[in-house]
A = this chain, B = another copy of it.
């Protein structure tokens, strides 16, 4: 019974991943890059180590993702004025519009998946997921 629940979960996750990949294709931005863009878009300028925390990855790995985005002029680094060891990362103008566009595309793709549910089911699903996501 639970095995079935977990399996069903993985199956849907897989579909969601494919939809997301689809949504990202036009910008050829990798999933991990898009996650970083999302974090910076939602929370604004922050330290590199903070990006790492948000993405649940090691600081060294965040350096790489940010390198890639910087190479594409989607983010920029500047020294943290309050601590000369740290560097702050923020979206560029290009980064802001790209992040927004990607967000919309992703939402549209997700909508295509969740369109199978009527409003009541969506509410139910949201409630159940909320219960599962926190260890209460």
Contacts and interface: CB of A to CB of B under 8 A. Distances in A.
Interface in A106-136: 106-107, 110-111, 113-114, 116-117, 121-122, 124-126, 128-133, 136
Q: How many copies does the complex hold?
A: 2
A129 to B, nearest CB: 4
Given A8-B133, A117-B132, 12 more contacts: A6-B16, A9-B13, A11-B129, A12-B129, A12-B132, A14-B56, A113-B132, A114-B132, A116-B131, A116-B136, A117-B128, A128-B128
Q: How many A residues are at the interface, by size bracket?
A: 35 or more
Taking chain A's interface residues, is the majority helix, strand, or loop, or is none over half, making it mixed? helix
Interface of A: 1-6, 8-16, 20, 56, 103, 106-107, 110-111, 113-114, 116-117, 121-122, 124-126, 128-133, 136
A4 B128 CA distance: 13
Nearest to A133: B11
A30 to B, nearest CB: 16
Nearest to A13: B13
Contacts of A116: 131-132, 136
Contacts of A2: 107, 110-111, 114
Contacts of A1: 122
